[in-house]
Structure 1
Amino acid sequence: MHANGAGDLTRRALLGAGGAAALGTVLGGREPRQGAAGTGTAPVARVRAEGAHQAGIARPAEAQSHLLLAVFDLDDTPAPVLAELGRSIVDLVDGGHPALAGIAAGDLTVTVGVGPRLVAAVRPDSPGADDLPEFAREEIDDIHRGGDVVIQVCASDPLLLPLALTHLMRTSPELRERWRQRGIRGPVKAVRRGHTAPRNVLGFIDGIAIPTSKSEMADSVWLDDGAAAGGTIMVVRRMVIDIPAFQSLSVAAQEAAVGRRRSSGAPLSGGGIADDVDLQAKTADGRYRLPADAHARRAHPRPIGAPLMLRRSYSMEDPMGLLFISMQTELRTFVRTLERMSESDALLDFTTTTASGTFLLLPGYDRSRPLGSTLFGAS
């Protein structure tokens, strides 16, 4: 996948928006909500950019159906670039910005993070200063590994994504794009306490066991001390999946690889979708109900004593697979989890990771407290 030219809203980009919308319709079984008057679709609530935490992490509670994520290099001083990004984001989300071409901002969110190189240069002991190690099943070139800045754009209206990102790249020309990826979320199923989880391109319900309450978010997601307080550590992994090979399995074999029922999301160990996986449950003849190499077992946090990660996977059409995104208080939570999965996870046998990076999603900001100012100072 080649990086697009900086700031160009190309015909391909707009066609990509339509392509993502079409895939979303196929997976979701419904038209995306546009959030604009006169379209005949229901408007969506605006999500404020300003606050103690950036939007696009825990706000809105149900993640929007469309995502565009882009990774950049930055050779300039971060403070003024980040401050300008923050101002531009607030202007876009407030609505009526000419860059959105008359389309209502709706539930548009833009979330910004910085890579380990930038963090380590100013605060080497801060969360976010460490990079990801290399793992098995990776085919990643230099362009698609790491990066200095990540911008995550989410909305229910897919047309907003390239418009918003193009405007941000135009107002911050110091950013040099490495790569970008679109993703969509399929139809959602209720899990618990207002938490919903979508189906992914494999047909399974994804993101069932995640932190949802304020206390869980405080324990598992939000950094609570130092210059990064209010931020979180993001991991991004683009995984190409051999869909034909997975689909060639019987439904029972697919469920054994995942560890959950495809129809309901319930764990093979028993109970309903909201019940925790029982790692000790056995059949009458002594076999584990949850296979030893099932993804739900290998990715479970209990065996490694790790907290839950806020995981969001977006299905991809080009390339076919999943864009995995997780947020956590410590990078080692993800690293230890993937190391355990790499030992024996039936689902990983169908995946190849082609892009990867970790970023410190910056603390919240407002017009008087610039984006990134707690780490890099005011511009």
Structure 2
Amino acid sequence: MSSPDSGPASEPDGGGLFSRRRLLGAAGVSAAVVGAAGAGALAGRASAADPQAAMNAAVPFRGVRQAGIVTPAQDRMHFATFDLTTDRRDDVIKMLREWTHMAERMTAGAQAARDGAVGLNPYSPPTDTGEALGLPASALTLTIGFGPSFFGRDGKDPLGIAGRRPELLADLPKFPNETMDPSQCGGDICIQACANDPQVAVHAVRNLARVGFGTAAVRWSQLGFGRTSSTSHAQQTPRNLFGFKDGTANIMAEDTGTLDEQVWVRDGDGPDWLTGGSYLITRRIRMRIEPWDRTTLIEQERVIGRAKGSGAPLGRADEFDALPLDLTGDDGEPVIDPLAHVRLASPEDNDGVQILRRGYNFTDGTDGFGHLDAGLFFIAFVRNPATQFIPMQTKLAKRDLLTEYIVHTGTGIFATPPGIPDGDPDAYWGSTLLEG
């Protein structure tokens, strides 16, 4: 299981692995490189001089599991999906090999390419786009997943792997209260880039897309700011754009027994290549900000089932108190409404089912009618989508009081393989699938 180092990543001298800082100094390039994340997304980002070493440290890329699942949730995210633009299996393998090398380098705080400072040859395009030069690793993690369409579509099997698609890897059904935009759904491959600096996350996805040109093209992407869940007991619970603490009851990295039961794919769950991995589910959830902001506090708390200030369940004083689902008030009615979000999403109301949440807030301008296009980019990791996510979401979509204030506009499901083993130079993202 990967976890952040206690200090900045070390940089080997061999193999052309130059750190971004060393390359910047050697080449004399200004640290004020123009970024690709946009002015809004860059606000408040961690700088290279950030005194908080943990914010800047490198997260090990290799391990039994992919980083970016139980890794302590970083503050920023760039999520992107890609569609293959070739039917040549060898080209896909070549791209995934190169992506793996690049991901390992970038998560260590190095430039994307393997040729060191040679990438600054003025007579050829740079082998690194440059916007992360001078920035630390910023706890960057890169997590890959493969969608149902990666295994073929329309009866075609260009990569020869249709028989290796997990039975559980199927497009999610249509739920009530969703208005899906096809341009924000699906994808053959997904990349989740999380970091404490948005420029580092955007740089990583941008360079993978650049190298993938001719083999894969970006289908859609989403920037996220402000994590909406914690994945470690050491983290404080963050807030979503409705102003409520989000993810209080999330599965944590320290809850290894629960992870084994609810998140990691086991032997016998599906094809061997996925054992030790998980299923990643995304939902782009637009929040109806304006109606919510005109709703009384007592109604907001009834909808959620928690106090807005403390995050405590209604009827209790502390955020982490157990939900008093049987508690009634003086009027004899349940203190937590039968249709409150926390009740319907709780393990107690879902036969013990839990999901590992790893979502982010987003704001993507306006809709042209004076309303913010903002909300929650929901990410969940589960062992079995059919018995965990789908039943829970079906119930929430039909009964949750929160549905009055949200609408789902994008979705995706991906199989995330296990991690890249230490000491295996031939392993790459997807090697257990494509060469197993």
- State the TM-score bracket (shorter-chain normalisation): 0.7 to 0.9
Is 1:101 the counterpart of 2:142 in the alignment?
Answer: no
TM-score (structure 2 length as normaliser): 0.75
- Give the 3-state SS of the residue equivalent to 2:42 in structure 1: helix
Which position in structure 2 is the counterpart of 1:224? 266
Indicate how the Cα distance of structure 1 residues 104 and 194 shifts in structure 2: closer, same or farther if over 3 A, else same. Answer: closer
Indicate how the Cα distance of structure 1 residues 306 and 132 shifts in structure 2: closer, same or farther if over 3 A, else same. Answer: farther
> Contact 1:116 / 1:128 at 8 angstroms: preserved in 2?
no
Q: 1:235-277 CA deviation, whole Å, 9 max, x = no partner?
A: 1011111101001111111111111111111111424211232
Deviation at 1:32, TM superposition (A): 3.5
Which position in structure 1 is the counterpart of 2:40? 19
Equivalent position to 1:331, from 375, 385, 399? 385
Which position in structure 2 is the counterpart of 1:172? 212
Point out the structure with max Rg over C-alpha: 2
Is 1:368 the counterpart of 2:382 in the alignment?
Answer: no
- Give the 3-state SS of the residue equivalent to 1:335 in structure 2: helix
Which position in structure 1 is the counterpart of 2:318? 272
Q: 1:74-133 CA deviation, whole Å, 9 max, x = no partner?
A: 244344333322121012122231633232223111111010122574345626522211
Deviation at 1:360, TM superposition (A): 0.8
Indicate how the Cα distance of structure 1 residues 40 and 114 shifts in structure 2: closer, same or farther if over 3 A, else same. Answer: closer
- Give the 3-state SS of the residue equivalent to 1:321 in structure 2: strand
Q: 1:145-168 CA deviation, whole Å, 9 max, x = no partner?
A: 221111111111111122111111
Which position in structure 2 is the counterpart of 1:50? 62
What's the Cα RMSD here?
A: 2.3
Is 1:33 the counterpart of 2:46 in the alignment?
Answer: yes
Which position in structure 2 is the counterpart of 1:85? 99
* Whole-angstrom distance in 1 between the partners of 2:36 and 2:170: 37
* Whole-angstrom distance in 2 between the partners of 1:14 and 1:352: 32
Equivalent position to 1:151, from 191, 194, 201? 191
Identity of aligned residues (%): 30
Deviation at 1:205, TM superposition (A): 0.7
TM-score (structure 1 length as normaliser): 0.86
> Contact 1:127 / 1:228 at 8 angstroms: preserved in 2?
no
Deviation at 1:311, TM superposition (A): 0.9
* Whole-angstrom distance in 1 between the partners of 2:211 and 2:151: 23
> Contact 1:79 / 1:377 at 8 angstroms: preserved in 2?
no
Is 1:262 the counterpart of 2:305 in the alignment?
Answer: no
Q: 1:135-182 CA deviation, whole Å, 9 max, x = no partner?
A: 122222332222111111111111112211111111222121111111
> Contact 2:82 / 2:216 at 8 angstroms: preserved in 1?
yes
Which position in structure 2 is the counterpart of 1:10? none
> Contact 2:280 / 2:379 at 8 angstroms: preserved in 1?
yes
Which position in structure 2 is the counterpart of 1:290? 336
* Whole-angstrom distance in 2 between the partners of 1:257 and 1:124: 43
Deviation at 1:200, TM superposition (A): 1.1
Indicate how the Cα distance of structure 1 residues 33 and 218 shifts in structure 2: closer, same or farther if over 3 A, else same. Answer: same
> Contact 1:311 / 1:326 at 8 angstroms: preserved in 2?
yes
Is 1:321 the counterpart of 2:334 in the alignment?
Answer: no
* Whole-angstrom distance in 2 between the partners of 1:147 and 1:50: 25
> Contact 2:148 / 2:165 at 8 angstroms: preserved in 1?
no
Which position in structure 2 is the counterpart of 1:235? 281
Deviation at 1:188, TM superposition (A): 8.3
Structure scoring higher RCO (CA < 8 A, sep ≥ 6) equals 1
* Whole-angstrom distance in 2 between the partners of 1:227 and 1:238: 28
Name which of structure 1's ranges 73-82 and 147-156 shifts more when overlaid on structure 2: 73-82
- Give the 3-state SS of the residue equivalent to 1:159 in structure 2: helix
> Contact 1:47 / 1:107 at 8 angstroms: preserved in 2?
yes
Name which of structure 1's ranges 129-138 and 149-158 shifts more when overlaid on structure 2: 129-138
> Contact 1:18 / 1:158 at 8 angstroms: preserved in 2?
no
Unaligned runs of 5+ in 1: 1-12, 23-30
Indicate how the Cα distance of structure 1 residues 245 and 15 shifts in structure 2: closer, same or farther if over 3 A, else same. Answer: farther
Q: 1:210-246 CA deviation, whole Å, 9 max, x = no partner?
A: 2121111111111122220121111101111110100
Deviation at 1:372, TM superposition (A): 1.0
> Contact 1:67 / 1:183 at 8 angstroms: preserved in 2?
yes
* Whole-angstrom distance in 2 between the partners of 1:186 and 1:192: 13
Name which of structure 1's ranges 39-48 and 50-59 shifts more when overlaid on structure 2: 39-48
Is 1:251 the counterpart of 2:265 in the alignment?
Answer: no
Indicate how the Cα distance of structure 1 residues 207 and 188 shifts in structure 2: closer, same or farther if over 3 A, else same. Answer: closer
Which position in structure 1 is the counterpart of 2:83? 73
* Whole-angstrom distance in 2 between the partners of 1:315 and 1:193: 21
* Whole-angstrom distance in 2 between the partners of 1:119 and 1:223: 19
- Give the 3-state SS of the residue equivalent to 1:245 in structure 2: helix
Is 1:185 the counterpart of 2:245 in the alignment?
Answer: no
* Whole-angstrom distance in 2 between the partners of 1:176 and 1:91: 22
* Whole-angstrom distance in 2 between the partners of 1:218 and 1:210: 14
Q: Which amino acid aligns with 2:428?
A: P
